[in-house]
Amino acid sequence: MSDMAALASHVQADALGLAAPLLEIDDVTVQYKTDQYLVTAAHQVSFKVYPSDRYVLFGPSGCGKSTLLKAVGGYVRPTQGTIRLKGREILEPGPDRMMVFQEFDQLLPWKTVRQNIEFALEASGRLKGPQVVERAAHYLDKVGLSAFQDSYPHMLSGGMKQRVSIARGMAMEPDVLLMDEPFAALDVQARRKMQDELLRLWDDTHFTVMFVTHSIEEAIRIGTRILLLSPHPGQVKAELNSVPRDDEQAESRARLEARINEMLFTFEDAAT
């Protein structure tokens, strides 16, 4: 299924009332309370994520992207509103939602690459013995790290560590993979390569991913849909369909980028 076909099938299914959303974020407000202050990180945010979406949360730093992703992960409870996965309210973290973070130190340093993935699979109780070994090997191969399965994290580059984290997340075969600026700490070239790899992995299995970024270019490259959040406190400014990745669409991509840029400036005007 191409990007375009995926998009068209949503729109069609939506119109017919057939597609069940995988995730429903309904009127979610998240506040952080400390002794001294109350911060509203996200304000009355609603959106839906459908199966096989590459759903991007995009907005300036501090607009609540990570907060919303953590709320979907079950690590942060909404102050108001509900988040449902396959119709069931999310109340806590679970193996049906795996997170990949920006930091390179998400792996257990005393375990090898392979053991890091196997450990996660065993801990979830989803698989046993040979199934664990087989599943880990399968996903290590998918991210091109079979040759490094016995290496320890400190022996790997930042990009390779992120690949292991992605393999670990994908190996759990979650309903949705949650990625919080996973490539932000990489240099431009490595970042580009990882973006391509993620898209290649998606072409393979069409997994559902929620991806946080504050880079317009990355949002357009990665996303099938882009939720544009206004600056602090994060509110939905717009929800946009991205543009297919093929070369003929370069002009449409540039147009979308210009449009998003324009919207960003509109926020700034509103804030001053």
64 binds, among ligand ADP, Mg ion, none (CB under 5 to 8 A by kind): ligand ADP
41 binds, among ligand ADP, Mg ion, none (CB under 5 to 8 A by kind): ligand ADP
Q: Name the DSSP letter for residue 230.
A: -
Who's near 88: CB < 8 A, 6+ residues apart? none
Tell me the CA distances in angstroms from 24 to 50, 57, 91, 190, one per residue in order. 9, 14, 14, 33
Residue 155, amino acid: M
* From candidates 221, 232, 237, 245, binder to ligand ADP by CB under 6 A: 232
- Given the complex with ligand ADP, which of 10 and 43 has the nearer CB atom? 43
Tell me the CA distances in angstroms from 173 to 13, 168, 213, one per residue in order. 24, 9, 23
User: What tokens does 199 get?
Assistant: 């898209």
Residue 61 near ligand ADP by CB under 6 A: yes
Residue 198 near ligand ADP by CB under 6 A: no
- What is residue 153's three-state secondary structure? helix
d(CA 9, CA 20): 12
d(CA 157, CA 57): 27
- Given the complex with ligand ADP, which of 50 and 211 has the nearer CB atom? 211
Site for Mg ion in 52-91 (CB under 5 A): 66
Residue 29 near Mg ion by CB under 5 A: no
Residue 237 near ligand ADP by CB under 6 A: no
- Given the complex with ligand ADP, which of 30 and 156 has the nearer CB atom? 30
* From candidates 32, 93, 250, 252, binder to ligand ADP by CB under 6 A: 32
